[in-house]
Amino acid sequence: MAKEYSYRGKKLEELKKLSINELAEAFPARQRRKIKRGFSEKEKDFLEKVNKKDNVKTHLRSMIVLPLMVGKTIKIHNGKEFIVVRVQEDMIGHYLGEFALSRKRPSHNSPGVGATKSSSALSVR
């Protein structure tokens, strides 16, 4: 049996009914401060687009995931391309940028010639 999701003791339906200021009180300090200072015009436009349609592109990596975004598909720009992210309940309170990594993982290969003392013994062709 699947456990029903809750954020700080409130179920998803309850979170959707809360006003933005009431929701801010449930968030951690950093997110609460951002909400209390108010959203920018771009962020307000983004929220309207998310309400109207499902598949939205954005560069707003610092936007907080709100309950109204749950179940929507958002394409988040990572600096090079748009990463498709399906917003789930447990993403509430995080930033969009956390789900579209902007850096690749380092993939280390064998050392080059001269990188170690033993590499001088290798033949170079």
Closest by CA position to 92, among listed 24, 40, 4, 3: 24
Q: Is residue 121 part of a domain?
A: no
Q: Is residue 118 part of a domain?
A: no
Q: Is residue 125 part of a domain?
A: no
Q: How confident is the model at residue 80 (pLDDT cuts 50, 70, 90)?
A: very high
Q: What is the pLDDT of residues 52-78, one digit of tens each?
A: 998 999 999 999 999 999 999 999 999
Q: How confident is the model at residue 118 (pLDDT cuts 50, 70, 90)?
A: low
Instruction: Decide: pTM greater than 0.85.
Output: no
Q: How confident is the model at residue 115 (pLDDT cuts 50, 70, 90)?
A: low
Q: Is residue 120 part of a domain?
A: no
Q: Is residue 11 part of a domain?
A: yes
Residue with tokens 């936007």: 63
The domain that contains 19 carries what CATH number?
3.30.860.10
Whether residue 47 has pLDDT greater than 90:
yes
Q: Is residue 97 part of a domain?
A: yes
Instruction: Identify the burial level of 73 via C-beta atoms within 10 angstroms of its C-beta, where 0-12 means exposed, 13-18 middle and 19 or more buried.
Output: middle
Q: Is residue 114 part of a domain?
A: no
Domain holding 51, by residue range, is: 7-102
| Number of domains forming the structure of the chain | 1
